[in-house]
A and B are shown apart, each in its own frame.
Chain A
């Protein structure tokens, strides 16, 4: 396919999506988040801000991985010094850890609530506040109407909303979110062969993208930015720790 043809196709695709009522991302012209291939899944090849994303986390390990990934996104979203709201119920996030992902924990306001109704209300109010960079809401389940309300709120204010769905009961239910993510931890690689635990690595599963195609990607957080790494066909075998002759003790 020639470059000319490719260009025509891109233009036609844009026209079709515009005719379908799809608004291009606000940052369509801006620089991306350094997510590499992942960003190519989205229309205009950029991680869309000013919209709602949802992250599914089936267990605590996945939740921690998702929070790490979100922290990486926040670093970029909060670059200009704006602040963000983290709304949760029974929050386990340990704020100092955000520092490792280039996000200043002091800029984040945490709101700890108990009732889902309150979480939804606060999230919607927060999404209407234009000065915020991002609103993160920990909520396990959300129905279509509720997510649509949030989506409408962000469309007006251009605040990015991230829903972290911990241990969802209905993970496949329809929502009005732009993208559905699933982040899982991956075995790390040793840096220069030094024993220990390496940079955080994740398997990023884009389950659903509005006007785009999902996929499975492998990405790590190294030197204060996202970097893709080779798909790990090979799973690191548990390294045996050489035991002294005395044997095992519990």
Chain B
């Protein structure tokens, strides 16, 4: 049987503002929004409500009651944003949490309440924490969403409705507890049905004729005869593990143990299904309401606990436990099929297929970032800068061969450096050149090797490359940009040969 906890915030927006601005506490203030050329109150503080100002009052009327009322601009869907934020915080108490517009959240507490010692203390803990942070709220647990909703808002006595007792609990509540449209509620009151108990026994055919199908649906949902579903704010990932800590933890060894425990159970499951983790996320829910997030990624899918634990270990220093973490959630955000390997017999594989290498690169990527790690494969271009490209993966191979016909320099400058050159005649190698204030006399030369621009990619001058060796035996790669020019050509030094 499912159990649902509904939480109702009596003054959501105003409480939020009072938390942000403590000086507003016990002041009369409202949120307003312009509607149909009138400024309407959309939310009122507790003090304002006592004076008879509620949502739906015109601001001018409110000012007539209290001349120095404070008015703040409301923002469209601001309450939704707030509820989502609260719902995310509440994830620590159950994986399924939904927002219930305009002023509540719903927590699917099935199978969760025993973690906090039963429903009574489960409810007390959650409501207590919300109240402590400044929200006026009430909550209720029952078998159905409808009944919890009703008791949370209108309930007088017990907040926890025992399984299958929602029928009795609803009898004394007014019809608005059924989440009905305003016209239907008014009609019910007009007919004297001021309590649910007065019409609940009536035949459904009669009720349908007078109040419509919607009315019966709401009644059924409250009683549990009709199905009702909620949309969780965070859909539970298929591969997710939770670890609830009885005592908030804040030390490194404790976090390590938590990670290991989570990985163990997640990897056991993945191993059974033949899957491995490519990326995973660890969330730590802190006592102060914040959530720490840590991500890892791997080069090859793996479900080996020691390796994954090592990757997280490198990131533990980034986890700030502050006052302590009470819940860890480990999610495999990306999984792939693992190619089964024999762990002992063939572990001595050489080269890029080596498991140890893949694991090393995972660790390095975790520390210095994956963008720092590159492997290059040839590309079918003669233009030197384009003759290679970073490989996408460790396994990637290409049919293209490295070009061997012309030597390439050992070191290549990222940007060719301009040099001054004395060149005798067109297409002759230079006699000397000046680079960084040093004059180099050319002793031997090779070239030119003309490399044309690839016009379909880039416009510009071609390059005539020369290999030059100066009188001290140092070897350079220089080029003239474009054709020989009487007025002086542009020469560049592009690299150093071994």
Contact = CB atoms under 8 A, between A and B. Distances in A.
A121 B367 contact: yes
Interface stretch (A3-11, A15-23, A60-68, A146-154): A60-68
A61 B438 CA distance: 13
B116 interface: no
A239 interface: yes
B253 interface: no
Nearest to B373: A111
Given A71-B410, A118-B368, A121-B367, A188 B473 contact: yes
Given A64-B497, A196-B446, A96 B388 contact: yes
Given A64-B409, A248-B424, A82 B354 contact: yes
Given A185-B475, A241-B424, A250-B421, A107 B443 contact: no
B473 A187 contact: yes
A126 B424 CA distance: 51
A68 B357 contact: no
A99 B374 CA distance: 17
Nearest to B361: A109
Contacts of B431: 241, 248
Nearest to B391: A106
- Chain A interface residue bracket vs B: 35 or more
A109 B374 contact: yes
Interface stretch (B132-140, B172-180, B400-408): B400-408
Contacts of B375: 106, 108-110
Given A64-B475, A125-B360, 20 more contacts: A64-B495, A83-B354, A94-B411, A96-B378, A96-B403, A97-B408, A97-B410, A100-B404, A105-B388, A106-B377, A107-B352, A122-B367, A131-B354, A185-B497, A187-B472, A195-B446, A197-B468, A197-B469, A201-B473, A250-B488
Interface string B410-447: 11111000001111110011010000000001111110
Interface of A: 60-61, 63-65, 67-69, 71, 80-83, 92-97, 99-101, 105-113, 118, 121-122, 125-126, 129-132, 184-188, 190, 195-198, 200-202, 221, 235-239, 241, 243-244, 246, 248-250
26 contacts: A64-B409, A67-B411, A71-B410, A81-B350, A92-B413, A94-B412, A96-B388, A100-B404, A105-B402, A107-B351, A109-B374, A112-B372, A112-B374, A130-B356, A131-B348, A131-B349, A187-B443, A187-B444, A188-B475, A236-B471, A237-B443, A237-B471, A238-B442, A238-B443, A243-B424, A250-B488
A231 to B, nearest CB: 13
Interface centre among A131, A186, A190, A244 (most CB of B within 10 A): A131
Q: Is chain A's binding surface mostly helix, strand, loop or mixed?
A: mixed
Contacts of A118: 367-368
Interface centre among A82, A186, A201, A249 (most CB of B within 10 A): A249
A103 to B, nearest CB: 11
Contacts of A63: 411, 496
Contacts of B373: 109-111
A105 B355 CA distance: 20
B191 interface: no
Contacts of A238: 441-443, 471
B424 A249 contact: yes
A185 B469 CA distance: 10
A188 B446 CA distance: 12
Contacts of A121: 367
A250 B364 CA distance: 50
B498 interface: yes
A96 B363 CA distance: 27
B38 interface: no
Interface centre among A63, A64, A239 (most CB of B within 10 A): A64
